[in-house]
Copies of this chain bind each other. A is one copy, B any other.
């Protein structure tokens, strides 16, 4: 899996680096393609983190997530990949990425990955 939009992500300096607090971003607008059938999949994604020296710039996060629109990606893979990209960019103290996928074959699937494990 490769998402060429990864470079669109922008980190801003944390305005309160001396404080421990939590940021939560959520959008129902994550869509990608099934790597087997090529058909669209849709998910609600939640990103929660405790900032270290950086916070994510929201518009760049929006563009980054849109970058998966034409990409083939398994549920488990894309969730971990987003976590890895954001941890690399932001160096957070803690981060959770959870994706809730629309029903396929009568089954609703959710994947949750955390840092550090």
A positions within 8 Å CB-CB of B:
14-16, 19-29, 31, 39-40, 42, 51, 55, 58-59, 61-62, 66, 69, 74-77, 79-80, 83, 102-114, 117
Instruction: Verify B14–A76 contact, CB threshold 8 A.
Output: yes
Report the bound CA distance from A59 to B104 in whole Å: 9
Which residue from B21, B42, B110 sits with its C-beta under 8 Å from A114? B21
Q: A16-B80, A29-B40, A66-B39 are in contact. Are A58 and B21 (CB under 8 A)?
A: no
Q: How far is the CB of A43 from chain B (nearest CB, A)?
A: 11
Report the bound CA distance from A15 to B17 in whole Å: 34
Which residue from B26, B28, B77, B109 sits with its C-beta under 8 Å from A42? B28
Instruction: Verify B106–A27 contact, CB threshold 8 A.
Output: yes
Which residue from B21, B26, B61, B76 sits with its C-beta under 8 Å from A112? B21
Instruction: Verify A112–B24 contact, CB threshold 8 A.
Output: yes
Report the bound CA distance from A16 to B112 in whole Å: 12
Q: How far is the CB of A109 from chain B (nearest CB, A)?
A: 5
Q: A19-B113, A21-B113, A77-B16 are in contact. Are A108 and B27 (CB under 8 A)?
A: yes
